[in-house]
Amino acid sequence: MPKDNRNLTYEEASQRLEAIVQRLEQEELSLDEALDLFEEAVILANYCRKTLSAAEQRLSVLLEKEDGRLLLEPFSLSEE
């Protein structure tokens, strides 16, 4: 990530990504400006994807079986 984006939270990165998309869609930018923004957007999108993936893994539920073994199951919001 660019130096000024290194300590962003997921929410901040997501907001910055949205702002970049709006600029790319609404403003007439030079090719260099557009490429710089696109590069930052790709970095931010990857950061957000990795952050969401890590959060999903943390939401995995650890269940203890009757015999004492532990079973890792994916977290699901749907009721089955």
Q: Is the pLDDT of residue 1 over 60?
A: no
Q: Where are the domains of the chain?
A: 3-73
Between the CA of residue 5 and those of 32, 67, 76, what are the distances in Å?
A: 20, 48, 32
Using 50, 70 and 90 to split pLDDT, how confident is the model at 75?
Answer: low
Alpha helices, DSSP H, located in 1-80: 10-26, 31-58
Q: What percent of the chain has pLDDT over 70?
A: 76
> What is the SS3 assignment for 73?
strand
pTM: 0.69
pLDDT in tens, 7-44: 899 999 999 999 999 999 998 999 999 999 999 999 99
Q: What is the pLDDT of residue 64?
A: 61
